[in-house]
Chains A and B, each alone.
Chain A
Amino acid sequence: MSDNTLSSRTLRRDSDRWFAPKMVSPTVLVLLLMSAFSIASTLYYSFTNYYYISRAPLKYIGFKNYLSLFKDNYFRSALVNTIKFTLWCTVLETICGIGVAVFVNSLKKSRQLVRVLLLIPYLLPPITAALIWQVMLSSNYGIVNQVISSFGLTAYNWFFDVRTAMPVIIAIDVWQCTPFCFLLLDASLQSIPTEQYEAARIDGAGKLQEFAHVTLPSLRNTITLCLLLRTIDSFRMFDKINILTGGGPANTTATITQYIYNYGVKSLKFGFASAGAIVMALLVLILSSFYIKRAMKP
């Protein structure tokens, strides 16, 4: 074999080896700028006394922000509230999404129209949804209280009672985000072969058994995806809580994001807020890893 053939083969092998990295490098660069840089700078600031409007030089304070965070009862109660909120919203939204998807799939007529109508809450910006419900549940002129009053009952202060504030926000989030789960699950339902249902019917399976032994197993991966995405979203929820209750009454609706906003962002203590953000990111990562491991199983 001649030297020329050898060197051109080596050249081609080298260029093949670098082809893939070159092709992904723009994406990696964008990801590095958008994600890695912001995470690294948040991590850096979390170890400092960064107060945004102060002209004093930045000081490294070690783990002081993290210690302040974990020593604070309100952070711990925000953590508990976040977990409660995430669990309730995720489970309810997924269950309702399954129910609605199965129902819509069973419709013989107007399936498209029903799908579109069901999507409307999800299309609204979260702030709009929160404001709509704030007006509807107003103790002064809200339609919900007017209906309650028409039955001779006293109008209720939904957002300012410790017993109802969190359940109401959960209900609003379920109302808005169930359509997202419905969309994923409905698409997945379309891909279940009808022969499986026919075979089940031939074997004498009723509707419930079809649901339990055909529908649910086929939706398993999509349900896992719904649970993962809704967990991440619910964990980070901020807009509805900030608008409707601000974390009150008595901190019963304060989640980690609301805590970070109240104690870090609002007072411009970005060092402290960064520590809160890092802790939250780690918690989301830990939660998500369970789902991702599950999803990666063959």
Chain B
Amino acid sequence: MLKLKKLTSVLLAALLLCGLLAAPAAAESAGKLTLVLRAGSYTDVMKALAPQFEAENNCTIEILDLDFSDMYQKIALDSMNAKGAYDVIMIDGSWFTEFLTNDMLTNLTAMNYTLDDDFIAGTTKGGQDAEGNVFAVPFFGNVQLFYYNKDVLANYGFDAAPTDWATVLELAEKVKADGSIGFAARAQAGENIVTDIDPLVLASGGQIMDADNNITINTPEYTNALEQYIKLIGAGQIMAKDDIVAAVNNGTAAMSLIWPGWYTPGAGEPTSFALMPNKLTPDAEEHNTAWYGLWYLGVTANSQNKDLALKFIDYSTSAESEIATVAQGLTPIRHSPYQDASVLEQSPQLAIVYEALKNGVYRPSVPQWTEITNTLGVELDNAVQGAKTVEAALADAQSACEEIMTR
């Protein structure tokens, strides 16, 4: 018995020693990269790309997939640490100015990175500072689109989506009269309702801020847009994002707005993207009405592995990687994938996304954007729910947002 105990102890000690000796060998890799990504197709894309990069660079990649608010908070909280836990972060276009102002990102131009001409020109501006230095590289071509059920619209004599908002409303009211949902809207306080209404604001010739970053909410254009939006909701229903996609897909709802990052219909499906209606009435002036919701990739200022992080960004935003990951739901941000017949065969809807990306409109680039959308979103929600009149809600939003800008 004593001999057996001694033998067991010796064997355990030997195993432990082997483990200790093996550990240094396993640690000799190029390093570890931690990616912070938005949950959904964005993560699927990166999970498809990571293994090849890991093999070629002898490194490991850890992926954190989070929702929108969690991403923002975790990135912000980690930015104050001397040594960051994250290396590559997905950046929503609306966060970029705030992150840049607070020195949270690495200057990639200083690391000899340059953007090539294959990137869709309009999409790169949102990742650069005023001097043209690149701090974030476009990764996912999210842009607001119109989304509709082809079969439902065909029942009302439409073989394509309407191109003006008055016709959208008229059609939504007919659909509602027949017992279905004319228009599915998110309409929840915050960024959701602000982005929902903005295509109508742009179609009306209005905007949230002018070129000098003055607040222009309490205007006839915004008032008109909000009134139209309330009528649209009257002919439809407010739903969560996943419910909207499901409702239009199964024909319960006729039309909605969508971001390709939510869902991209495949060939043979009853739903389709369309360019956002760009005027209020059939005879009105046309405007660019597709808001960019582009996602970028950046290297954190406190990353412990900046060179490898930049190499990964270069790899994952290359034309080859984009073409390879359309199947995982990537919306490319370069010209060449959209000119590749195999890509369009996989996902014919991308042709519409390409048109929208070439003519998209940026959201205002101010560090106070998160606060502005919170505040404006609450007032818009009040108007939509009938808690305030349109005029009172927009007047309150105007003064509150002006106060935010002057702090």
Q: Which residues of A contact B (CB under 8 A)?
A: 52-55, 74, 134, 138-141, 157, 160, 162, 245-252, 262-263, 265-269
- From B76, B102, B252, B371, A55 is in contact (CB under 8 Å) with B102
Residue in B closest to A265 when the chains form the complex, CB atoms: B73
Tally of contact residues, B, Cβ under 8 A? 34
Question: Which residues of A are found within 8 Å of B208, using beta-carbon distances?
Answer: none
Question: Which residues of A are found within 8 Å of B99, using beta-carbon distances?
Answer: 53
In the complex, the answer to whether A140 meets B374 with C-beta atoms within 8 Å is no
Task: List B residues 236-263 near A (Cβ within 8 Å).
Answer: 237-240, 243, 246-247, 252
Residue in B closest to A249 when the chains form the complex, CB atoms: B385
In the complex, the answer to whether A248 meets B189 with C-beta atoms within 8 Å is yes
Residue in B closest to A77 when the chains form the complex, CB atoms: B387
Could you tell me the distance in whole angstroms from the C-beta of A132 to the nearest C-beta in chain B? 15
Q: Is B112 an interface residue (CB 8 A)?
A: no
Q: Is B104 an interface residue (CB 8 A)?
A: yes
CA distance A250 to B233 in the complex (A): 15
Question: Which residues of B are found within 8 Å of A266, using beta-carbon distances?
Answer: 69, 72-73, 370, 374
Q: Could you name 5 residue pairs across A and B whose Cβ atoms are closer than 8 Å?
A: A140-B252, A162-B387, A245-B188, A249-B238, A250-B387
In the complex, the answer to whether B238 meets A55 with C-beta atoms within 8 Å is no
CA distance A247 to B103 in the complex (A): 32
Q: Is B80 an interface residue (CB 8 A)?
A: yes
Could you tell me the distance in whole angstroms from the C-beta of A186 to the nearest C-beta in chain B? 38
- From A53, A162, A252, B76 is in contact (CB under 8 Å) with A53
CA distance A266 to B247 in the complex (A): 30
In the complex, the answer to whether B76 meets A140 with C-beta atoms within 8 Å is no
- From A55, A162, A252, A263, B103 is in contact (CB under 8 Å) with A55
Residue in B closest to A162 when the chains form the complex, CB atoms: B385
In the complex, the answer to whether B187 meets A160 with C-beta atoms within 8 Å is yes
In the complex, the answer to whether B243 meets A140 with C-beta atoms within 8 Å is yes
In the complex, the answer to whether B76 meets A160 with C-beta atoms within 8 Å is no
In the complex, the answer to whether B243 meets A138 with C-beta atoms within 8 Å is yes
In the complex, the answer to whether B385 meets A157 with C-beta atoms within 8 Å is no
In the complex, the answer to whether A160 meets B374 with C-beta atoms within 8 Å is no
List the count of A-B residue pairs having beta carbons below 8 Å apart.
Answer: 82
CA distance A6 to B69 in the complex (A): 70
Q: Is B2 an interface residue (CB 8 A)?
A: no
In the complex, the answer to whether A53 meets B381 with C-beta atoms within 8 Å is no
A267-B382 in contact given A157-B238, A250-B387 (Cβ < 8 Å)? no
CA distance A225 to B293 in the complex (A): 50
Q: Is B378 an interface residue (CB 8 A)?
A: yes
Task: List B residues 69-114 near A (Cβ within 8 Å).
Answer: 69, 72-73, 76-77, 79-80, 98-99, 102-104
Q: Is B360 an interface residue (CB 8 A)?
A: no
Encode B29-64 as 1/0 by CB contact (under 8 A) with A.
Answer: 000000000000000000000000000000000000
In the complex, the answer to whether A157 meets B239 with C-beta atoms within 8 Å is yes
Question: Which residues of B are found within 8 Å of A55, using beta-carbon distances?
Answer: 102-103
Could you tell me the distance in whole angstroms from the C-beta of A133 to the nearest C-beta in chain B? 13
Residue in A closest to B98 when the chains form the complex, CB atoms: A53
Question: Which residues of B are found within 8 Å of A267, using beta-carbon distances?
Answer: 370-371, 374
Residue in A closest to B75 when the chains form the complex, CB atoms: A53
A250-B190 in contact given A52-B80, A139-B243 (Cβ < 8 Å)? no
In the complex, the answer to whether B187 meets A250 with C-beta atoms within 8 Å is no
- From B76, B102, B237, A139 is in contact (CB under 8 Å) with B237
Could you tell me the distance in whole angstroms from the C-beta of A270 to the nearest C-beta in chain B? 11
CA distance A265 to B239 in the complex (A): 26
Question: Which residues of A are found within 8 Å of B240, using beta-carbon distances?
Answer: 134, 138
Residue in A closest to B385 when the chains form the complex, CB atoms: A250
Question: Which residues of B are found within 8 Å of A252, using beta-carbon distances?
Answer: 385, 387
- From B187, B246, B371, B381, A140 is in contact (CB under 8 Å) with B246
In the complex, the answer to whether A246 meets B188 with C-beta atoms within 8 Å is yes
- From B72, B189, B243, B384, A251 is in contact (CB under 8 Å) with B189
A262-B243 in contact given A53-B80, A53-B104, A246-B188 (Cβ < 8 Å)? no
Question: Which residues of A are found within 8 Å of B243, using beta-carbon distances?
Answer: 138-141
Could you tell me the distance in whole angstroms from the C-beta of A44 to the nearest C-beta in chain B? 17
In the complex, the answer to whether A52 meets B382 with C-beta atoms within 8 Å is no
A248-B239 in contact given A74-B378, A263-B374 (Cβ < 8 Å)? no
CA distance A250 to B238 in the complex (A): 13
The interface centre, meaning the residue of A54, A141, A249 with most chain B CB atoms within 10 A of its CB, is A249
Could you tell me the distance in whole angstroms from the C-beta of A192 to the nearest C-beta in chain B? 48
Q: A74-B378, A251-B387 are in contact. List 13 more A-B contacts (CB 8 A).
A: A53-B76, A53-B99, A53-B104, A134-B240, A138-B240, A140-B243, A157-B237, A157-B238, A246-B188, A248-B189, A250-B381, A267-B374, A268-B76
CA distance A74 to B396 in the complex (A): 12
Could you tell me the distance in whole angstroms from the C-beta of A62 to the nearest C-beta in chain B? 16
The interface centre, meaning the residue of A54, A140, A162, A263 with most chain B CB atoms within 10 A of its CB, is A140
Question: Which residues of B are found within 8 Å of A162, using beta-carbon distances?
Answer: 385-387
Encode B6-23 as 1/0 by CB contact (under 8 A) with A.
Answer: 000000000000000000
- From B77, B247, B252, B371, A52 is in contact (CB under 8 Å) with B77
CA distance A246 to B99 in the complex (A): 25
In the complex, the answer to whether B382 meets A250 with C-beta atoms within 8 Å is yes
